[in-house]
Amino acid sequence: MIIKETVKVGDKTVTIETGRIAKQAQGSVLISQGDTVVLVTACGTKEPRPGMDFMPLSCDFVEKMYAAGKIPGGFFKR
């Protein structure tokens, strides 16, 4: 089931959507405002890891190289 909400924050419009992509994750939210889109996912397991007495939290950030203006290849022929 796809749920989509639009909220006005100041003079900007923020769209929050869940259920469309990343369906294999236990939870996923797609947040967009203008040209910026952020995908947030959460995955877990019912079985704890042996020897862990705390809840580990990891954050993976993947920046696309072309988004930063860096194109792989290094040398461009004319």
pLDDT tens track for 19-77:
999 988 899 999 999 999 999 988 888 887 788 787 777 777 777 766 666 666 666 55
Q: DSSP letters along 2-68, please?
A: -EEEEEEETTEEEEEEESSS-TTSSEEEEEEETTEEEEEEE---SSPPTT--S----------GGGG
What is the reported pTM? Answer: 0.62
